[in-house]
Amino acid sequence: MMDMQNQAMGYDRAATMFSPEGHLLQVEYAEKTIRLGSASVGIRCSDGVFILADKRIKDKLIVNESASKIYEVDSHVFSSFAGIMSDARVLIEKVQVLAQQHKMTYDSNIEPELVIKEVANTKQQFTQYGGARPYGVSLMVAGLNDDKPELYTSDVTGNYFSYHANAIGENDEKIKEKLREKFKETLDLKKGIKLALEIFEEIKEDKFDIEGFELIYIKIGKELERLEGKKIQEFIK
């Protein structure tokens, strides 16, 4: 029995070592870390795309604006995360540079898929090579590809998919269940944001506080906009 436990611990010590069941245990632990992070919901709408994030700030000493959950990658692309904030910051800074290099090289805006692909490739490397742990973060990337709204999410392993609507972080499965029930491709931005807020309110119940939420959206043909707290509710009236 002791030998079996010691053997299991051996597979646990390296992110690059498969267990006999075919699992990378350190990668699976990183996925659990993501579900401890506060949630974000993204929806691709008929007239644009948005990400709504729960900042979950409880410390009154923290300046609210400094604890952002959604970051601008470029003027038409933005990203939210769930998991370890410092891991997310490094990945987002990496793709911010990539977006500017693309603009300088090709004189055009980078496609959102190229952003998520760079994130996914970086994450995959840290599941394959030894000496470093996997990134404990899931990134959601939204933006416009010309006039087409797009939404992507990458997981710890380096996979990514395109979504009509998705959620990452705390209670992500519950949120996705409700999105599957209520999402329609005909939703415009106002109706989509209203739906996301209603889902958060339903799941968080008495812990729901609009002041703790942050929203970035981009409408086709318009510039990216950021709203926080009660301004989000004012927007969807």
The DSSP output letter for 46 is: S
- Residue 230 pLDDT > 60: yes
pLDDT at 63: 80
Is the pTM here over 0.75, yes or no? yes
What pLDDT does 15 receive?
A: 64
Count CB atoms within 10 A of the CB of residue 176: 18
Inform me whether the pLDDT recorded for 66 exceeds 60.
yes
| CATH architecture, domain defined by 39-236 | 4-Layer Sandwich (3.60)
DSSP class of 184:
-
Q: What is the pLDDT of residue 202?
A: 95
DSSP-based three-state secondary structure for 41: strand
